[in-house]
Amino acid sequence: MNEGEDWVYSEKVKDHFLHPRNFLMGDESKFKYDAVGLVGNPICGDQMKMFIKVKDDKIQDLRWKTYGCASAIASTSALSEIAKGKTLDEALKISAHDIDDFLGNLPKHKFHCSILGHDALKNAIENYRKST
């Protein structure tokens, strides 16, 4: 491996970073959600907020906001595409490795960023289940 290759992002990671899917811009009250999850990552200081809309035990829609790095943004964008339409239990089974595979691999030292969106989704699902 050449020096610096471990910092290289795939084209798919770059696309999801530059054009994040399901990102919630602006006022949160404009998206009618059923539950929200909020997590932070002490390793890198990122914070993620995930909003889910549930119908018939499936994620009908979701949106997210973050204070995070390129890897956290790209990973959560990918997760948002993977999770839509899944049952809550199916969504909980989406792993950081599934997200990494979907994106064509994150740099190894940024893999922990893929966990942030998943943790926020898990927290939102837990909060939804507590409220119903």
29: tokens are 């009250």
Choice among 31, 34, 44, 81 that is catalytic: 44
Rg of the chain taking only CA atoms, in angstroms: 14
Q: Which of 46, 85, 41, 39 is nearest to 62 (CA)?
A: 85
SS3 34: coil
SS3 19: coil
Q: Is 113 a catalytic residue?
A: yes
Half-sphere exposure of 105 (CA within 13 A, CB side): 7
What is the C-alpha separation between 23 and 32, in angstroms, rounded? 14
Choice among 113, 116, 124, 125 that is catalytic: 113
Q: Is 69 a catalytic residue?
A: no
Residue given tokens 């914070």 in the structure block: 47
Please give the positions annotated as active site.
44, 113
